[in-house]
Structures are given as C-alpha cells and as structure tokens.
Structure 1
Amino acid sequence: MAETSVSPVDLAAIGFDRLRGDRERLDRIDRYFRGDHDGPYVPKSATDEYKLLAKRAITNWLPLLVKAPSQAMAVDGFRRSTDPAGEGTDDVPAEWRAWQDQRMDSRQTPIHRAALTYGQSFATVLKDPADPSRPVIRGVSPRLIHASYDDPAADALPLWALQVEGLPEKEGAEVRAWLYDATNVHELLVGGKDGPRLIGTTPHGQGVCPVVRFAPDIDLEGRVTGVVEPMLPIQDRVNQTVFDLLISQTFGSFKVRTISGLAPEFRRDPETGEILLDSNGRPVPIPIQADASRFLVAPDPDTKFNQLDETPLGGFLEAIELATKHLAALSQTPPHYLLGSMINLSAEALAAAESALSRAVDEYKHSMGESWELVLSLCAQIMGVEPDPRAEVLWKDAESRSLSQTVDALGKAVQMLQVPARAMWPRIPGVTARDVEEWTQMQEADDPGLRMADAMAAVVAPPAPVVADAA
C-alpha cells in the first residue's frame, strides 16, 4: 500500500518514529556545531586541574567550515524567461515581490547554514491565513521535520512531510505536529502513549506537498551529507592535541632543578636547639628556597646540582597545524581561513587559494538554486501567477577579484566582442539587481536617443482596434 493512501494519523506515527531514529545523529552534529564536544581523553584519576584543562582544550573549528561557504551564497535576484506577470507598477516579477515581502534577503542564510550543517534543510510555502493571496515562507530545521519521497534522489517535492514543534524530552509527552500532504495540512498531537491524535485539517489548495528540501550534497540513493559530520573525527583529534599541549605547557614547559647528595637541614627549637618532630615522630625539614633570584649553595662537597630541560612544545603545535590543514583540505576551506597565514597576497593569489571553496560554492548554488526556484514557483501559484518553469534565481557574486581587472575585462568584452554594455552591469562586483534597475532607469532618462526611439515607436505603432459596443 502506498504511503499516500494511509491515514494522516498513521503517517504521523511513521514520520515521528523516523524523526526519533535520526535524533541521536542530528543532535550530535548540533552539539559539536555549538561547541559541546565529547572532550579529550583524560584518566579516571585526573584531578580537577586536569579536568579544567580538558574543558579549555575545546577548539571549535566547525562553525567556520559552515560559514565560509554560506557567506558566499546569497540569492540576489530573480529572472523569468517571459515577461513578469501579476499586478504591479514596475517590471519586478511577482515572485520577487513575495521574496522581498518575506524578508528573505536575511532569512535565507539560516536555511543555507542548516543545509550545510546537517546535509539538508527545508522550507514550507503556505497561504497567509489573513490574506490567502500572500505566500508565507518558513525555514525548518531537519531536526524538526521528516519528508517522505517516492524517489528521494530525484523527486522535487515529497509525498508528505511531518513537522513537529519539538521532540519531547520525556517518554509519553505530547507535542504539536503538522502533517503536510498534496491537499491538506493536518494538525496533530504526537508522542503520546496512545499514538498521534488528529486535531484538525485545513486545505492548502496547492495540489502538491508544500515542502521544499535544500540538499547541497545528495547521492543517487537519496542520502545527504553535510559539512560537519565528516569533520568530527578530525575535530576530536584537534581537541586531544590541544589538551596534550596544555598539559605539557602547564606542567613541563619550564626547567626543573635537581639536587643530589645534599643532607637536609631540620627545624630546631630556638630555645633548646633540639630537632623538631612532626606528629609521626619524623624530623621536620627546612624547605630549600630555589628560584631564579637565588643561588644554590650546599655545605656538603658531595652535593650535585642539575636540571631537567623543559618539554618542547613545537611538536604539539605542528600536530595542531597538520590537523587544521586536514580540516581545510577535506572541507574545501581555504587554509588561510583557519591558520591566518596570509601575508601580502595579490588578488590572483587570493583567488587561487580560494579556488576549491569557489568550486564547492558553485556546486551548492546549483543544487539550492533549484530549491529556491521551486519555492518561488509555489509562491507564484499562491499569488495567482502562472509559474515559469524556466525561471532562475540570481546569486550574488562573492568571489575575491580585483575590481580594476574585472572592470577592464568587462570593458574589453564590450569593445572587442560587441557584448551589450548593460549585460555587463550585473557582473561588476558588489552591484545588486536593484542597482542595475536604477542604472537602466537613469540611462533611459538621460539618453535622448532612447527617448526619441520610444517616441518614434509610438508614432509608427498601429492604432488600437476599436471594439464595437455590443449594445
């Protein structure tokens, strides 16, 4: 029996069980990302000082591995293959107006970072209850939603999806949940001893499950891989090496002076001159004052002074640097992001150092760009606009390039290859889609030739046909 023919209560039970099955793995990724690591190995007999050093040894590199690609990914525009449809006084597509209305310029970042952290994230697109023609976009963490696909590697939209308000901490506690299918949104209570309970059902009127998945790295079996999970063993190695470094730095990074053949002096009673004894009947020795400001002198000629050299720390530092380089190589993060070793790099050298990251970001954009186009297509459907299957989102250019060299190359493309100048405007670093729109309006307002062309077009245009009144 297909899952779509099962009742909402049964689907909710299936989805909730699968969420709980993935919780341990996703919670571990979440803990490590927030800096709550398992910690380095310490002996059972370790003192409080050792345990304090173990806490201080946690060096969390994982957020940087996620932020590096996510900071280079920002949807900056939307382009339809046909003229934009929908009401409005400008030429901005209706989907892009919905994007701006939902403040997605800033709210897209958490969706990207969750997808990179866990391997996937989700967004729901539903009608605003107060205004059915207004779409509402909400990002959802994969820790709180399970989506079921007929073909998880190829299907754009799931058959159904279960979103929970939060997983219960106690067995038998109920939490709110929403089950999305092709026609309705079912509100339920899940987690109880008697199974899910249906509260209500509301049609969403979109004809498809309104849940879109963002999976930057997915294989042909539908398995997703994030940036964080493969790096956990190396992160543990870094923490262990830092802990060993702190131990050596605290207890062995200084020289130790030794004395052999010295008969100790004992405390004596100032009145009688007798040697004082402790509670066990043993003489009380006088401590030897040995520091950098004192000379060591012994009356016994057989006394020998020596010193133990400090533990060299260079090996620990090299091991930390090597593990950090492994993190950079396996995650395609530029090494100077982690090591800070960047001295007088030219624009070309900087671009070469970031080439691996640029390739990874370009791959992520291909995958998540399709997801955003699907989100905006659902928005168009809610707004009563015919979705454009060939529309595409435009990503902001965040690559490190010299502005002067970029502008020079664009100028040569215009002069030598006869590329229209306007086509080069979006390729200038830092220029947004809004800037291009304003420049277009300014050029049309300031160029008499363009105004004359518009006037001539109006003159030679055929008159509008007159429709006779049916009355």
Structure 2
Amino acid sequence: MDEAQIRESITQMLTVRRRDLAECETLRRWLTGQAGTPEVPKGSESEIKHLAVVAKRNVIGMVVDTFAQNLGVVGYRAADEAADATGWDLWQRARMDARQDEVHRPALVYGLSYLVLRPLVADGPVEWLPRSPRQLVALYEHDDVSPFPVCAMEVWVQTVGGVKRLRGALMDDEWVYPLDLGTVADLARTKTASLSHVATAAVIDDEAAFPHRATYDGTPVCPVVRFVNGGDADSGPIGEVAPLIASQRALNEVNFDRHIVSRFGAFPQKVISGWAAGESEVLKASARRVWTFEQADVKATALPAASVEPYNAVLREIVEHIAQVAQISPAQITGQMANLSAEALWAAETAQQRKLDAKRRAFGESWELALHLAVETTSGQDTVPHGAEVIWRSTEARSFGAIIDGITKLSSQGVPIDLLMPLVPGMTQQQVKAIRDRLDVDYTPDAIAALAATPLLAGSGQE
C-alpha cells in the first residue's frame, strides 16, 4: 500500500475501533459484575446504596467460564493417522496448550477474537499472538466468507516519558507497518468525524516496515485468523454475554429487594403508637421484656417478620431461565447437585454439549486455518498436511466403565487400540504416544488375546 492508502485504512479502522470499544467495554463490565447496580431513589441513605452494590449476583461470568473450561484442543491429525500432523510441533513451541484460552475467552465474551501469526521484527520467527476486538481491528472484503482480512491494525498503549501513547502495527497481505497514533488523551478527545486528522498526523516509519511472509496455498494473505463464537448474517458475531444482560439485570434487582427485606423486615417489627421518645429511650425500650408507659392512650403492637422465600423462588426462576438461554446445566450456576449417576449428569448436560459441539466446529475450522498458515509460512507449501483436523478434549459426563467396555469390544473386532485411546476421558496426546511407544505391539485381536493370556505377575505359579 502507498501512504495515501495506509492513512485511509487507518481512518477506517480507528472509526471501527471507537465504535467497537464502547460495545466491548459494556460487555466487559457486565462480565466482571461492574455493571448492573440496581437504581435507588435520589437522597437514599448510604446503607441503601451499599445494599444496591452488594446485591449484584453475577452469573454471566459463570456461563463464560463453563464454556471456556470445556474448550481445549489436544491434537491435530488426520483421521487415518495415529501421529499428530505437521504443525502440532509449532503449536507446542508457541505454548498454545495453555494460551489457547486467550483466543477462546474473548470470542465467548465479545463474539469474536483473532490470532495474529507474524514475526515481531524483520526476519524473525513467526509468533502466535492472541488478540481481542479491543486490541485489533480487521477489515474484510466479504465479512461472512473471506477467510483473511484485506488489512488489519493492532493497537496497544505504550508509556513513553510518563505519557501514554497509542502504538500500532498495520498489516496488509505483504507488509507490517509500525505506527505511532499520538497520545491516548488526544485520541480520546478527537471526535469521530475528525479521526482522519489523526490518521494524517500518524507517524508511519517506512524504514521500519518489514514483510511478514504469510502465505496460504501460495497466495500472500494478511496473517490474521478470525474466531467467531456464533451469530448469523443479520446480527453478526454475538457472544455469550449480550443475550444474558436483561436477565442479569432482573436478577440483581430482585436480589436487591431481598436484601432490603432481610435487612429491615426479616424480624418482628415493634410498633408503639401514642408515645414519642428520644433515640436512647427507644433503644432501652427495645431491649426490655416488659414495657410500661405512663400515658394511658399508648398502644404497643408487633408486626410479623417478612419472609424472603418469595424472593428466593423468583431468584431460582431467573437463574433457571438464564441457564436455559445459555444452554448450560443449572447446577453450573447454583452449585446444587444431588447424588446423580453418570447417565443422569449426561442427560442434564445434553444441551450444553450440543452447544459446545457447535463452538468446537466453528473454532476448529479457525484453528485448522491457523495451523495451515503457520506451517506454510514457516516451512513452505509442500509441508502443509492435508485432511488433518484439530482434536478437542472430551469433557462429556460419561461412565468410565462404559467407555472402556466399548473400547474393548471395538478392539476385539480389529480396530487398532491406539486409535481408540483418545476416547478415554482425560487421555492427552502425549499420554497416547507414551502408551503406544511403551507397548510397541501389533494391535490385532490375536495380539490382545495373547496379552490377556500372559501372566502379568512373575512367580504367580502359572506356566
């Protein structure tokens, strides 16, 4: 791109970033429980205001955690291969076993996230850089079908001499252009219509620009892979937070009402009519078992304590509704779980597993795109594996005994046991490889029968 195209792209992406930042900040506040404080009338006592703050009962974060903790890539291979395909070594080298959550979680919260695969300096190694919509803006020719953007811009804050400056990197299908977008304060004061002036004043260091070398099937591409949580062509990407905001607000308000009742009305109220006294006298009277008054027209009565159970019932109903909308088991939010069998747990999590499968399909395609891009950029087009797909960790509630029984029956029919080992809950690819290397046998029915007939303990007396 020439300088005019670069500055035009900066203007477009700064405009998109300003719009997206406001939306992302709203979603982040609901996720962390900072938003949703029930409103109180003006002039309310400080105690009432305090109750409004502590009454927030955030469950949105639990919903996001439920899905994030069940999304884990553990392998990358073709269906007819026992070993992981080329590219898994790059995944391991980038420590993505631990860092993949940095991609999944922003997608769950904001609806989409990104993975940048580029060198940080000229001729440097390809780095795997997870980015949220708060950190990266990408422009696509066709939002719904284009696998790679036309251009993208990373943005971060860097403190220079005590002043916070907005630094960035603009990427097209060949080059990375380092940017200095000015101070954070100046950009915040700039109106949207004047963002073109920021782009005009941006410092573009042409000498520091360098090629990122990213290619896909031999074609240069912008090295950004998008991960979409869900949505459709009309609404666009949507995360797990936005659909739950209304229910979360209702939950907070009902809980606030319950706090008010429990603080001021959950005990018998003593009422004295026809008698006025100071605060100290009222406290003394409240502590007495027997009250006496000189005035003949004084009447003392008591009101029954208010019950919080109706509020508890409403809270349970709202929590169940949130679980239904989010398609997770209510036990994930309430923490209440009876002594259930594996089959009962599986039935309770059926909707959650269906939704997880949809997320794994969407995220899996993006991970395969990223692995293809990483392999081709690092080693060339000839080394790209064909037909390989990512393998997800199984988190479904299933009976361990039933799984082992099924594996045993399949292996007895000639299915190679090493292809069945990943079906064992909690079995990682490294453990599968270690078991395969340790046994080093031909997994045929005859071999399995021979192993079963071989004494396992020396000196057992069997010949």
The residue number in structure 1 matching 2:456 is none
Q: CA contact under 8 A between 2:77 and 2:388: conserved in structure 1?
A: yes
Q: 2:357 aligns with which of 346, 359, 362?
A: 362
What are the Cα deviations for residues 62-82 of structure 1, in whole angstroms up to 9, with x where unaligned? Answer: 111111011111000111479
The within-5 A match list for 1:348-427 is 348-385=343-380, 386-415=383-412, 417-427=413-423
Residues 20, 133 of structure 2: 8 Å contact kept: no
Amino acid at match of 1:356: A
Q: Which residue of 2 aligns with 1:346?
A: 341
Q: Does 1:438 align with 2:429?
A: no
- Partners of 1:17 and 1:128 in 2: CA distance: 25
Q: Is the 8 A contact 1:151 1:222 kept in 2?
A: no
Distance 1:253 1:356, change over 3 A: same
Q: Find out whether 1:197 has 2:203 as its counterpart.
A: yes
User: Partner letter of residue 443 of structure 1?
Assistant: L
In structure 1, C-alpha distance between the alignment counterparts of 2:27 and 2:75, rounded to whole Å: 32
TM-score (norm 1): 0.82
> Which letter does structure 1 place at the counterpart of 2:389?
E
State the shift of 1:288 in Å. 7.3
Structure 1 match to 2:223: 210
Tell me the CA shift for residue 285 of structure 1: 10
Flag the 1:179–1:129 CA change in 2: closer, same or farther, 3 A: closer
Compared with structure 1, are the counterparts of its residues 139 and 285 closer, same or farther at alpha carbon in structure 2 (3 Å cutoff)?
Answer: closer
**Number of residue pairs aligned between Structure 1 and Structure 2:** 419
Q: Residue 125 of structure 1 contacts residue 379 of structure 1 at CA under 8 Å; is this kept in 2?
A: yes
Conservation of the 8 A alpha-carbon contact between 1:144 and 1:166? no
**Which one of the candidate residues 35, 42, 54 is aligned to 1:44?**
42
- Matches for 1:214-293 after TM superposition, within 5 Å: 214-221=227-234, 223-260=236-273, 287=282, 289-291=284-286
User: Identical aligned pairs, as a percentage?
Assistant: 30
Go from structure 1 to structure 2 and tell me whether the alpha carbon gap of 1:252 and 1:97 turns closer, same or farther (over 3 Å shift).
Answer: same
Go from structure 1 to structure 2 and tell me whether the alpha carbon gap of 1:57 and 1:362 turns closer, same or farther (over 3 Å shift): same
Quote the residue 1:126 is aligned against: 118
Moved over 6 A (4+): 3-6, 81-84, 445-450
State the SS of the aligned residue for 1:294: coil
- Equivalent residues of 1:153, 1:221 under 8 A apart: no
Q: 1:110 to 1:194 in 2, by over 3 A?
A: closer
2:33 aligned with 1:14: no
Q: Quote the Cα distance in structure 2 between the aligned partners of 1:128 and 1:16.
A: 22
Please point out which of 316, 322, 329 is paired with 2:324.
329
Provide the secondary structure at the position in 2 that maps to 1:290.
helix
Match of 1:145 in 2: 136
Q: CA deviation at 1:220?
A: 2.7
Is there any run of 5+ residues in structure 1 with no aligned partner, and where? 85-90, 267-283, 451-471
- Per the alignment, do residues 222 and 378 of structure 1 end up closer, same or farther by CA in structure 2, a change over 3 Å counting? farther
What are the superposed Cα offsets for residues 81-139 of structure 1, whole Å, 9 maximum, x if unpaired? 7989xxxxxx654411111111100000121011000000001001364864x421010
Q: Give the secondary-structure state (helix, strand or coil) at the position aligned to 1:122.
A: strand
Query: 1:7 deviation in Å?
Result: 1.2
Q: Which moved more, 1:189-198 or 1:395-404?
A: 189-198
Deviation at 1:166, TM superposition (A): 4.3
The residue correspondences of 1:297-336 to structure 2 (distance < 5 A) are 297-298=292-293, 303-336=298-331
- The residue that corresponds to 2:450 in the other structure is none
Amino acid at match of 1:245: R
| Aligned twin of 2:169 | 178
1:357 counterpart letter in structure 2: Q
Query: In structure 2, the residue corresponding to 1:79 is in which secondary structure?
Result: strand
2:291 maps to 296
Amino acid at match of 2:237: V
Seen in structure 2, the aligned counterparts of structure 1 residues 247 and 4 have a Cα distance that, compared at 3 Å, is farther
How far apart, CA to CA, are the structure 1 residues paired with 2:440 and 2:236?
51
- Determine which structure has the larger helix proportion and give its number: 2
Contact 1:265 1:286 in 2 (8 A): yes
What is the CA–CA distance in structure 2 between the aligned matches of 1:286 and 1:383, rounded to whole Å? 84
Q: Structure 2 CA distance, aligned partners of 1:296 and 1:54?
A: 36
My pick for the range that moved more, 346-355 or 182-191, is 182-191
Over 3 Å counting, the alpha-carbon distance change for 1:120 and 1:286 in structure 2 is closer
Displacement of 1:343:
0.9
Residue 190 of structure 1 contacts residue 197 of structure 1 at CA under 8 Å; is this kept in 2?
yes
TM-score by length of 2: 0.83
Q: Distance in 2 between matches of 1:92 and 1:404?
A: 27
Q: For residue 447 of structure 1, report the CA deviation from its aligned partner.
A: 9.1
Contact 1:425–1:431 (CA under 8 A) maintained in structure 2:
yes
Q: Is the 8 A contact 2:122 2:211 kept in 1?
A: no
Q: In the alignment, is the contact (CA less than 8 A) between 2:112 and 2:239 conserved in 1?
A: yes
- Residue equivalent to 2:146: 155
Tell me the equivalent position of 2:127.
136
Which structure 2 residue ranges, 5 or more long, are not aligned? 188-196, 215-219, 448-463
Counterparts of 1:72 and 1:235 in 2: how far apart (Å)?
23
**What's the Cα RMSD here?**
3.0
Change (3 A) 1:55 1:339: same
Q: Which amino acid aligns with 1:109?
A: D
C-alpha separation in 2, matches of 1:8 and 1:314: 62
Name the CA distance, whole Å, in 2 between partners of 1:76 and 1:153. Answer: 28
Mapped to 1, the partners of 2:111 and 2:316 lie a distance apart of: 27
- Conserved? CA contact 1:4–1:159, under 8 Å: no
- Contact preservation (8 Å) 1:333, 1:356: yes
CA distance in 1, matches of 2:273, 2:375: 88
Tell me the SS of whatever aligns to 1:188: strand
Deviation at 1:418, TM superposition (A): 3.9
Is the contact between residue 147 and residue 161 of structure 1 (CA under 8 Å) also seen in structure 2? yes
1:111 and 2:107 aligned: no
Partner SS, residue 126 of structure 2: strand
